A and B are shown apart, each in its own frame.
Chain A
């Protein structure tokens, strides 16, 4: 093999095959890799703008930092590494092969005397005998040798070696790196990258139905390699997948169609998910025959070179039957409303038109609710308490039952005529919070905000009806006088004596109820500010609040009476229920929607997220990997050692070398020196 001739090519070759260049590339690769682990990759671009601001967003975008590992410059580093390693192999191979073959039996006495590991050994036996003994010894030690005898007068030289196949390790490891990178580059789909760069393919960023995506953003089934995903609802089918690219996607047409029969989630006793499985049917226009099977996590199906993986799941259009409660009307009865996940429905409230878009439904919600045994406290900050628990017995090895399934939940958006939307998240069943049960519904203005939860207290049946009846009574202006009258009567036991006071109390209570129904506690506060002297305000607020609570209690009893329910007991429970109800009414003013949707029943339809890949480079990469492992062990654990013995009358010159200067080598040298000296004694 010959090096290139022109000075320039020569210099490039020198650079590329130098180890310093290789190490620099390795370092560069390591540093570049870090970027992609620190900055979250392939997020929607809007997230980056929020996080980085418009200025840095642009700079990062130009550098391709949102998908570092697929940028031209990153692939460039890999290509250079492959080149550098290939040149290195090209340069080293002849040397290595020579090293493996050669015994170096032409070493001169002068060069042997220059060795760091050498010894002059006195020989008490004739050179011919010595020669015989020494070669016998070397063979016994696992060395192969060659003897060079150039006539009587010249000393004979034995050149021996062991473990020279360690040099193969170099070829195996470095060849493996080239092979692995090539396999990886094939799966990186270089042809597609090129097509994209030349403008033959264009990333689609609009939200289109897959059939509407134009040809320039579609890839044919013949595409060499791809990795993308698709979500299929139960009962649905797909013959395309989406490949996420930058801030958009490409549509990959599949050579077959996948039909999802059923998606299943199994749970452990503790509520954690145990398995995700999709029953799929593949229909293949080329083979007519169908193919049926089940894909689960860690168990993909490979069909015609395309591997199908279980990658995720979601809702595939569950149908929800909802009760709509009008939060500010005197009506205590809900209206029925139908919703479907990923569909929008109209809702009219007086003149105002809304669109209700159900975005998600979950039949299971495993949450750490703090329920369960009291001694199973939440993780504690108290170290010693923790220590006592952890030191405990095997019961402490049992999974704690802190996680609970709290039942179904759903999420929806209510959009007004101006297009403004609020998002809601509601649970179907009451949740236990601080020892009491509430129906909970969260609201937020923007997707990156946390939900703020409104709690409706559940009645003795665990239903929302009790609250809704009380609420309706509070918003029913026609009932206010009766509620006020009842409260005044209970507050002034002596009807005859307190006549005047009772009438006054009735009036003011009715007024109070009206103010509360119009503006909650805020309205009340404003009223107090306007009508009570500053110094008295706090006291007045306290008094009003007491009145409101007791009037609320009367309203509750009245609402029950009218619904034909027996009166609520006069106890702590009821008092708390009324207080919670007043809070809920107050919070409704900040709920942002006049309607609360309660989930009555549902028909769940799941969808399965499948990932499909075709990676022709995989087997190349695996083959390279096997070579790499082999090579590493060969390189580290086969030690090359060479021994030269120059046999002269009365003296033997012993020299030894190794490509690894380790202590083992030092020890071996010392041992050989000792043994050989003994053998040569006579």
Chain B
């Protein structure tokens, strides 16, 4: 007989390992160091955000262990990259490490290439039913994520090299948020891959990231959009640092849910049926992704309202972007009601998740392209 104690759930904190604490200590030390270095340039809100983010990253690493490796690697390489600049922007095209790896544009191109490779890899894995190939694809996805994060961090530094007044967090235009979207969607996917111990969904989820990468490349090559631009006055706000990432966790999760919904539809029609996870698993991932997306989208919309109250003089102006955010939100609220209250399952909800992505993409891109409003920053 086993003792009851053997089954007792250990409390979260007791379950933490030494490595967890080292990780937390590193983050704490890093944020205190950053605070000492740059605290003089920050306002009270930004100081708060610095420590809030550090705490969130500690929590994230404790909750999902691979983050404890990803973050230090990204931090080290980004710092190495920054260090290679010697304060001169021009070195990006001369110094070996910058030119071929860690200058922001190089890192982002690496990210793009790796995501496309990972997509191909997962497809190959599905075709060959090879867990080994899928494992390699997962590793490539991790590397792509790391390169993307390094690219963003170095870009942040580069923006300050252009001019002290130009410097800003790289989540301020379509080019930058597409990078963010790719990274966040990949991380969400990797989390579920590990949680369900199932790598078969990569073939469905990675294409949406590849599509984002394709847009990114077109935007850079065709439209010359990769340049760091100074911020228009409306965007000079600490709210941006909170509102935009929260929004993109939402968008990423909704995209993930839609791709899993697509897999569900394939499987329920008998397509690729024996290469995909069980319907119950697909259904579960879809629900979880929409739940997390909904939660973050709620936060993002509320933060957006608070920002609007400070920038435009009203927390809600029925500006097209706001209105479409509400439509997206209402859509997923209805989805959740149908599933949780009515208990409905199956192809209908999968279809709905797919259509939900169309609505979301319109709110994200279509509004900027086709409708005008305060969010277009056309005037002041």
Chain B, residue nearest A663 (CB): B284
Q: Is B128 an interface residue (CB 8 A)?
A: no
Chain B, residue nearest A674 (CB): B7
* Chain A residues within 8 Å of B232, by CB: 272-273
Interface flags, A306-318, vs B, CB<8A=1, else 0: 0101111100000
Do A386 and B313 have beta carbons less than 8 Å apart?
no
Do B229 and A272 have beta carbons less than 8 Å apart?
yes
Chain B, residue nearest A388 (CB): B221
Interface flags, A615-628, vs B, CB<8A=1, else 0: 10010011001001
Do B338 and A23 have beta carbons less than 8 Å apart?
yes
Known: A27-B334, A632-B298. A298 touches B236 (CB 8 A): yes
Question: CA of A622 to CA of B2 in the docked complex: distance in angstroms?
Answer: 52
Q: Indicate which residue in B4, B298, B313, B380 contacts A613 across the interface (CB closer than 8 Å).
A: B313
Residue among A30, A37, A664, A678 with most chain B CB within 10 A: A37
Q: Is A13 an interface residue (CB 8 A)?
A: no
Do A663 and B89 have beta carbons less than 8 Å apart?
no
Do A26 and B333 have beta carbons less than 8 Å apart?
yes
Question: CA of A663 to CA of B5 in the docked complex: distance in angstroms?
Answer: 26
Within 8 A of B (CB), among A27-42: 27, 29-30, 33-34, 36-38, 40-41
Chain B, residue nearest A615 (CB): B314
Q: Is B270 an interface residue (CB 8 A)?
A: no
Q: Is B223 an interface residue (CB 8 A)?
A: yes
Interface flags, A58-96, vs B, CB<8A=1, else 0: 000000000011000000000000000000000000000
* Chain A residues within 8 Å of B2, by CB: 678-679
Q: Is the interface of B mostly helix, strand, loop or mixed?
A: helix
Known: A300-B313, A393-B94, A396-B227. A662 touches B287 (CB 8 A): yes
* Chain A residues within 8 Å of B314, by CB: 187, 227, 613, 615
* Chain A residues within 8 Å of B223, by CB: 379, 386
Do A389 and B224 have beta carbons less than 8 Å apart?
yes
Question: CA of A34 to CA of B328 in the docked complex: distance in angstroms?
Answer: 11
Do B341 and A19 have beta carbons less than 8 Å apart?
yes
Question: CA of A272 to CA of B89 in the docked complex: distance in angstroms?
Answer: 21
Q: Is A675 an interface residue (CB 8 A)?
A: yes
Q: Is B134 an interface residue (CB 8 A)?
A: no
Do A379 and B330 have beta carbons less than 8 Å apart?
no
Question: CA of A629 to CA of B280 in the docked complex: distance in angstroms?
Answer: 28
Question: CA of A392 to CA of B284 in the docked complex: distance in angstroms?
Answer: 44
Within 8 A of B (CB), among A521-563: none
Shortest C-beta distance, A232 to chain B (Å), equals 15
Interface flags, A359-396, vs B, CB<8A=1, else 0: 00000000000000000000111011011011111111
Task: Kindly specify which of B13-21, B51-59, B103-111, B140-148 makes contact with the partner chain.
Answer: B103-111
Shortest C-beta distance, B123 to chain A (Å), equals 25
* Chain B residues within 8 Å of A396, by CB: 105, 226-227
Question: CA of A37 to CA of B326 in the docked complex: distance in angstroms?
Answer: 12
Chain A, residue nearest B226 (CB): A390
Do A40 and B7 have beta carbons less than 8 Å apart?
no
5 contacts between A and B (CB under 8 A): A37-B323, A299-B310, A311-B380, A384-B221, A678-B2
Task: Spell out B's residues near A (CB within 8 Å).
Answer: 1-2, 4-5, 7-9, 89-94, 98-99, 103-106, 109, 155, 158-159, 162-163, 165-166, 196, 217, 220-224, 226-230, 232-234, 236-237, 239, 280-281, 284, 287-288, 291-292, 294-295, 298-299, 302, 305-306, 309-316, 318, 320, 323-324, 326-327, 330-331, 333-334, 337-338, 340-343, 367, 371-373, 379-380
